Amino acid sequence: MDIQIQQLTKSYGFQKAVDNISFSVKTGEVLGFLGPNGAGKTTTMKMITNYIDIEQGDVLIGGQSVKSGEMSQHIGYLPEHNPLYHDMPVIDYLEFCAALQGVSKSIVPHRIREMVRLCGLDIEKHKKIGELSKGYRQRVGLAQAMIHDPEILILDEPTTGLDPNQIIEIRDLIRQMGKQKTVILSTHILPEVEATCDRILIINHGKIVADGTASTLRKQAQGQQVLKIKIDEGEVNQIYEKLQKLETVAMVDFADATHNRFEIQSVVERQSNKAIFELCVKNNWVLSECIPFETKLEDIFRDLTLN
Protein backbone atom coordinates (compact mmCIF):
# COMPACT_ATOMS: atom_id res chain seq x y z
CA MET A 1 0.00 0.00 0.00
CA ASP A 2 1.24 3.45 -0.76
CA ILE A 3 0.57 6.66 1.07
CA GLN A 4 -0.37 9.81 -0.75
CA ILE A 5 -0.47 13.07 1.08
CA GLN A 6 -2.30 15.80 -0.75
CA GLN A 7 -2.12 19.47 0.18
CA LEU A 8 -2.28 18.67 3.86
CA THR A 9 -2.81 21.67 6.09
CA LYS A 10 -3.33 22.06 9.81
CA SER A 11 -3.23 25.19 11.87
CA TYR A 12 -3.32 25.88 15.57
CA GLY A 13 -4.67 29.36 16.02
CA PHE A 14 -2.86 31.64 13.62
CA GLN A 15 0.12 29.36 13.35
CA LYS A 16 0.22 26.86 10.53
CA ALA A 17 1.71 23.68 11.92
CA VAL A 18 1.50 21.94 8.57
CA ASP A 19 1.24 24.13 5.52
CA ASN A 20 -0.03 22.64 2.30
CA ILE A 21 2.38 19.73 2.03
CA SER A 22 2.11 16.98 -0.58
CA PHE A 23 4.21 13.86 -1.03
CA SER A 24 3.82 10.17 -1.56
CA VAL A 25 5.53 7.09 -0.23
CA LYS A 26 5.66 3.83 -2.15
CA THR A 27 5.52 0.29 -0.85
CA GLY A 28 8.94 -0.92 0.17
CA GLU A 29 10.17 2.56 0.83
CA VAL A 30 11.43 3.91 4.15
CA LEU A 31 10.87 7.63 4.33
CA GLY A 32 12.81 9.66 6.86
CA PHE A 33 10.87 12.62 8.07
CA LEU A 34 13.29 15.24 9.26
CA GLY A 35 12.92 18.66 10.71
CA PRO A 36 13.70 20.77 13.76
CA ASN A 37 11.45 20.54 16.80
CA GLY A 38 8.06 22.03 16.08
CA ALA A 39 8.42 21.74 12.32
CA GLY A 40 5.19 19.77 11.98
CA LYS A 41 6.47 16.19 11.84
CA THR A 42 4.34 14.84 14.65
CA THR A 43 1.28 16.78 13.51
CA THR A 44 1.57 15.27 10.05
CA MET A 45 1.92 11.78 11.48
CA LYS A 46 -1.06 12.28 13.73
CA MET A 47 -3.11 13.25 10.70
CA ILE A 48 -1.93 10.21 8.75
CA THR A 49 -3.02 7.96 11.62
CA ASN A 50 -6.30 9.85 11.90
CA TYR A 51 -5.68 10.77 15.53
CA ILE A 52 -6.27 14.43 14.83
CA ASP A 53 -8.63 15.80 12.23
CA ILE A 54 -7.40 16.90 8.86
CA GLU A 55 -8.15 20.56 8.32
CA GLN A 56 -7.52 20.76 4.59
CA GLY A 57 -6.27 18.30 2.02
CA ASP A 58 -6.32 14.56 2.40
CA VAL A 59 -4.27 11.49 3.18
CA LEU A 60 -4.89 8.51 0.93
CA ILE A 61 -3.74 5.05 1.90
CA GLY A 62 -3.96 2.60 -0.97
CA GLY A 63 -6.26 5.12 -2.64
CA GLN A 64 -8.65 5.38 0.32
CA SER A 65 -8.95 8.42 2.54
CA VAL A 66 -8.02 8.02 6.21
CA LYS A 67 -10.91 10.31 7.10
CA SER A 68 -13.25 7.32 6.87
CA GLY A 69 -11.58 5.99 10.04
CA GLU A 70 -11.41 2.53 8.51
CA MET A 71 -7.75 2.50 7.61
CA SER A 72 -6.42 2.00 11.14
CA GLN A 73 -6.09 -1.76 10.76
CA HIS A 74 -3.59 -1.21 7.95
CA ILE A 75 -1.49 1.17 10.00
CA GLY A 76 0.95 0.40 12.76
CA TYR A 77 1.71 3.47 14.83
CA LEU A 78 4.36 4.20 17.40
CA PRO A 79 3.47 7.60 18.88
CA GLU A 80 5.99 10.08 20.20
CA HIS A 81 7.13 9.26 23.78
CA ASN A 82 5.87 5.69 23.31
CA PRO A 83 2.92 5.64 25.74
CA LEU A 84 2.28 2.25 27.38
CA TYR A 85 0.25 0.71 30.21
CA HIS A 86 2.89 0.28 32.86
CA ASP A 87 0.85 -2.07 35.01
CA MET A 88 0.29 -4.58 32.22
CA PRO A 89 2.54 -7.57 31.51
CA VAL A 90 4.15 -7.52 28.07
CA ILE A 91 2.30 -10.56 26.73
CA ASP A 92 -1.10 -9.37 28.00
CA TYR A 93 -0.49 -6.00 26.42
CA LEU A 94 0.35 -7.47 23.03
CA GLU A 95 -2.71 -9.71 23.29
CA PHE A 96 -4.86 -6.66 24.06
CA CYS A 97 -3.47 -4.75 21.06
CA ALA A 98 -3.96 -7.72 18.77
CA ALA A 99 -7.57 -8.09 19.91
CA LEU A 100 -8.22 -4.38 19.36
CA GLN A 101 -6.81 -4.56 15.86
CA GLY A 102 -9.11 -7.45 15.09
CA VAL A 103 -6.41 -10.10 14.66
CA SER A 104 -8.30 -13.38 14.56
CA LYS A 105 -8.01 -15.31 17.78
CA SER A 106 -6.46 -18.41 16.26
CA ILE A 107 -3.33 -16.61 15.06
CA VAL A 108 -2.85 -14.29 18.04
CA PRO A 109 -0.43 -16.63 19.88
CA HIS A 110 1.56 -17.05 16.69
CA ARG A 111 1.73 -13.30 16.09
CA ILE A 112 2.82 -12.66 19.68
CA ARG A 113 5.59 -15.26 19.43
CA GLU A 114 6.67 -13.69 16.17
CA MET A 115 6.80 -10.19 17.70
CA VAL A 116 8.63 -11.39 20.81
CA ARG A 117 11.25 -13.00 18.55
CA LEU A 118 11.49 -10.09 16.12
CA CYS A 119 11.77 -7.42 18.78
CA GLY A 120 14.04 -9.46 21.06
CA LEU A 121 11.64 -9.46 23.98
CA ASP A 122 12.09 -13.07 24.95
CA ILE A 123 13.80 -12.66 28.32
CA GLU A 124 11.50 -9.82 29.40
CA LYS A 125 8.18 -11.10 28.11
CA HIS A 126 6.68 -12.03 31.49
CA LYS A 127 7.53 -8.77 33.21
CA LYS A 128 5.22 -5.85 33.62
CA ILE A 129 5.91 -3.07 31.15
CA GLY A 130 6.65 -0.66 34.00
CA GLU A 131 9.56 -2.87 35.11
CA LEU A 132 11.28 -2.74 31.74
CA SER A 133 14.17 -0.49 30.80
CA LYS A 134 13.60 2.23 28.27
CA GLY A 135 15.08 0.24 25.42
CA TYR A 136 12.81 -2.70 26.08
CA ARG A 137 9.79 -0.44 26.37
CA GLN A 138 10.65 0.94 22.97
CA ARG A 139 10.69 -2.61 21.64
CA VAL A 140 7.29 -3.25 23.18
CA GLY A 141 6.10 -0.09 21.42
CA LEU A 142 7.38 -1.40 18.12
CA ALA A 143 5.89 -4.82 18.77
CA GLN A 144 2.43 -3.37 19.42
CA ALA A 145 2.71 -1.33 16.22
CA MET A 146 3.47 -4.43 14.17
CA ILE A 147 1.32 -7.02 15.92
CA HIS A 148 -1.40 -7.02 13.26
CA ASP A 149 1.15 -7.14 10.44
CA PRO A 150 0.16 -3.76 9.02
CA GLU A 151 1.25 -2.68 5.58
CA ILE A 152 2.07 0.77 6.81
CA LEU A 153 4.28 1.74 9.72
CA ILE A 154 4.31 5.24 11.15
CA LEU A 155 7.08 5.62 13.71
CA ASP A 156 7.50 8.87 15.59
CA GLU A 157 11.08 9.04 16.82
CA PRO A 158 11.54 5.31 17.24
CA THR A 159 15.07 5.43 18.66
CA THR A 160 14.93 8.20 21.25
CA GLY A 161 16.43 7.20 24.54
CA LEU A 162 18.09 4.04 23.32
CA ASP A 163 21.75 3.19 23.80
CA PRO A 164 23.95 2.88 20.69
CA ASN A 165 23.62 -0.92 20.51
CA GLN A 166 19.88 -0.78 20.78
CA ILE A 167 19.72 1.97 18.17
CA ILE A 168 21.54 -0.26 15.72
CA GLU A 169 19.22 -3.17 16.47
CA ILE A 170 16.10 -1.08 16.03
CA ARG A 171 17.46 0.38 12.80
CA ASP A 172 18.12 -3.09 11.45
CA LEU A 173 14.61 -4.08 12.39
CA ILE A 174 13.12 -1.07 10.63
CA ARG A 175 15.20 -1.68 7.52
CA GLN A 176 14.12 -5.29 7.50
CA MET A 177 10.47 -4.29 7.88
CA GLY A 178 10.85 -1.61 5.25
CA LYS A 179 11.45 -4.14 2.52
CA GLN A 180 7.83 -5.20 2.32
CA LYS A 181 6.08 -2.36 4.08
CA THR A 182 5.66 1.34 3.67
CA VAL A 183 7.44 3.10 6.50
CA ILE A 184 7.49 6.72 7.59
CA LEU A 185 9.77 7.51 10.49
CA SER A 186 10.50 10.85 12.02
CA THR A 187 13.67 11.78 13.78
CA HIS A 188 16.07 14.59 14.29
CA ILE A 189 19.05 12.33 14.54
CA LEU A 190 20.73 12.76 11.17
CA PRO A 191 22.97 9.70 10.92
CA GLU A 192 19.86 7.69 11.62
CA VAL A 193 18.07 8.74 8.46
CA GLU A 194 21.15 7.98 6.41
CA ALA A 195 21.39 4.56 7.98
CA THR A 196 17.77 3.55 7.68
CA CYS A 197 15.94 5.56 5.08
CA ASP A 198 15.69 5.28 1.32
CA ARG A 199 14.44 8.79 1.06
CA ILE A 200 14.61 11.92 3.14
CA LEU A 201 12.02 14.59 3.50
CA ILE A 202 12.96 17.71 5.39
CA ILE A 203 10.24 20.00 6.64
CA ASN A 204 10.51 23.36 8.31
CA HIS A 205 7.71 25.61 9.54
CA GLY A 206 5.21 23.13 8.11
CA LYS A 207 6.62 23.23 4.60
CA ILE A 208 8.69 20.71 2.66
CA VAL A 209 12.15 22.16 2.05
CA ALA A 210 13.91 19.11 0.63
CA ASP A 211 12.93 15.74 -0.76
CA GLY A 212 15.27 13.07 -2.12
CA THR A 213 17.87 10.46 -1.23
CA ALA A 214 20.79 11.42 0.97
CA SER A 215 23.12 11.53 -2.05
CA THR A 216 20.86 13.70 -4.21
CA LEU A 217 20.44 16.11 -1.34
CA ARG A 218 24.20 16.28 -0.99
CA LYS A 219 24.66 16.91 -4.66
CA GLN A 220 22.07 19.66 -4.61
CA ALA A 221 23.63 21.33 -1.64
CA GLN A 222 27.16 21.02 -2.86
CA GLY A 223 26.92 21.71 -6.60
CA GLN A 224 30.63 21.37 -7.37
CA GLN A 225 33.02 18.59 -6.63
CA VAL A 226 35.49 19.38 -3.87
CA LEU A 227 38.64 17.31 -3.39
CA LYS A 228 41.19 17.45 -0.63
CA ILE A 229 44.53 16.28 -1.87
CA LYS A 230 48.03 15.88 -0.49
CA ILE A 231 51.03 15.68 -2.76
CA ASP A 232 54.35 14.50 -1.35
CA GLU A 233 57.55 15.86 -2.92
CA GLY A 234 57.43 18.73 -5.35
CA GLU A 235 57.50 22.42 -4.50
CA VAL A 236 54.35 23.98 -3.12
CA ASN A 237 54.07 26.96 -5.40
CA GLN A 238 54.93 24.97 -8.48
CA ILE A 239 52.24 22.42 -7.68
CA TYR A 240 49.80 25.20 -7.02
CA GLU A 241 50.39 26.81 -10.39
CA LYS A 242 50.18 23.59 -12.34
CA LEU A 243 46.98 22.54 -10.59
CA GLN A 244 45.40 25.85 -11.40
CA LYS A 245 46.15 25.39 -15.07
CA LEU A 246 44.10 22.18 -15.28
CA GLU A 247 40.96 22.84 -17.28
CA THR A 248 38.61 20.96 -14.94
CA VAL A 249 39.77 22.88 -11.90
CA ALA A 250 37.91 26.02 -10.94
CA MET A 251 39.83 26.98 -7.84
CA VAL A 252 42.75 25.79 -5.78
CA ASP A 253 43.25 26.61 -2.14
CA PHE A 254 46.12 25.95 0.20
CA ALA A 255 44.76 23.83 2.95
CA ASP A 256 48.11 23.35 4.64
CA ALA A 257 51.04 24.73 2.70
CA THR A 258 53.79 23.09 4.79
CA HIS A 259 52.42 19.61 4.12
CA ASN A 260 51.44 20.25 0.50
CA ARG A 261 47.75 19.94 1.14
CA PHE A 262 45.32 21.57 -1.22
CA GLU A 263 41.60 21.95 -1.56
CA ILE A 264 40.43 21.81 -5.13
CA GLN A 265 37.07 22.88 -6.42
CA SER A 266 36.14 21.55 -9.85
CA VAL A 267 34.29 23.34 -12.59
CA VAL A 268 30.52 22.71 -12.31
CA GLU A 269 29.56 19.23 -13.54
CA ARG A 270 33.22 18.22 -14.08
CA GLN A 271 35.45 15.83 -12.14
CA SER A 272 39.13 16.56 -11.59
CA ASN A 273 40.37 13.24 -10.15
CA LYS A 274 41.80 11.96 -13.40
CA ALA A 275 43.48 15.20 -14.42
CA ILE A 276 45.14 15.52 -11.02
CA PHE A 277 46.36 11.96 -11.13
CA GLU A 278 47.82 12.39 -14.60
CA LEU A 279 49.50 15.65 -13.58
CA CYS A 280 51.17 13.89 -10.67
CA VAL A 281 52.36 11.04 -12.88
CA LYS A 282 53.81 13.47 -15.40
CA ASN A 283 55.74 15.36 -12.74
CA ASN A 284 56.73 12.35 -10.70
CA TRP A 285 54.83 13.59 -7.64
CA VAL A 286 53.37 11.21 -5.15
CA LEU A 287 49.65 11.70 -4.69
CA SER A 288 49.28 10.42 -1.15
CA GLU A 289 45.77 11.65 -0.37
CA CYS A 290 42.75 12.38 -2.50
CA ILE A 291 39.57 12.72 -0.50
CA PRO A 292 36.27 13.81 -1.96
CA PHE A 293 34.81 16.31 0.43
CA GLU A 294 31.29 15.38 1.39
CA THR A 295 28.84 17.96 2.59
CA LYS A 296 27.57 16.61 5.84
CA LEU A 297 23.85 16.03 6.17
CA GLU A 298 24.06 18.27 9.22
CA ASP A 299 25.15 21.16 7.02
CA ILE A 300 22.37 20.56 4.54
CA PHE A 301 19.91 20.41 7.39
CA ARG A 302 21.20 23.65 8.90
CA ASP A 303 21.16 25.37 5.54
CA LEU A 304 17.60 24.40 4.85
CA THR A 305 16.07 24.97 8.23
CA LEU A 306 17.83 28.02 9.59
CA ASN A 307 16.54 30.56 7.11
Partner 1 sequence: MNPIWVIAKKELNSYFNSLIGYLILSIFLIFIGAFTWLIGNDVFIRQQATLDEFFNWAPMFLLFMIPALTMKQLAEEKKSGTIELLLTKNISNRQLVIGKFLACFLMVCITIAFTLPYYITIVQLGNADHGAIIGGYIGLLLLSAAFTSIGIFASSLGDNQIVAFLLALVINVIFLFILGFVGNSFSGWFGDILNTLSIPEHYSSISRGVLDTKDLIYFGSMIFLFLFLAELKISNRG
Instruction: Give the binding site for partner 1 (CB under 8 A).
Output: 12, 46, 49-53, 69, 72-73, 75, 77, 79, 81, 83-88, 96-97, 99-102, 105, 144
Region class of 51: left (phi > 0), else alpha (psi between -120 and 50), else beta? alpha
Instruction: Give the DSSP H or E segment for 291.
Output: strand 286-292
Task: State which residue, 83 or 223, has the beta carbon closest to partner 1.
Answer: 83
Q: What is the Cα–Cα distance from 52 to 50, expressed in whole angstroms?
A: 5
Q: What is the Cα–Cα distance from 255 to 119, expressed in whole angstroms?
A: 48
Task: State which residue, 99 or 290, has the beta carbon closest to partner 1.
Answer: 99
CB of 90 to partner 1, least distance (A): 14
Q: Give the single-character DSSP code of 39.
A: S
Task: State which residue, 49 or 166, has the beta carbon closest to partner 1.
Answer: 49
Count of CB atoms within 10 A of residue 2's CB? 16
Task: State which residue, 74 or 199, has the beta carbon closest to partner 1.
Answer: 74
CB of 49 to partner 1, least distance (A): 4
Q: Are strands 152-156 and 75-78 parallel, antiparallel or unpaired?
A: parallel
CB of 222 to partner 1, least distance (A): 40
Task: State which residue, 101 or 187, has the beta carbon closest to partner 1.
Answer: 101
CB of 180 to partner 1, least distance (A): 21
Rounded to 5°, the CA angle 193-198-200 comes to 55
Task: State which residue, 41 or 199, has the beta carbon closest to partner 1.
Answer: 41
CB of 24 to partner 1, least distance (A): 21
CB of 162 to partner 1, least distance (A): 19
Give the residue from 223, 204, 200, 194 showing the smallest Cα distance to 212.
Answer: 200
Q: Are 225 and 266 in contact (CB under 8 A)?
A: yes
Q: Are strands 15-25 and 3-12 parallel, antiparallel or unpaired?
A: antiparallel
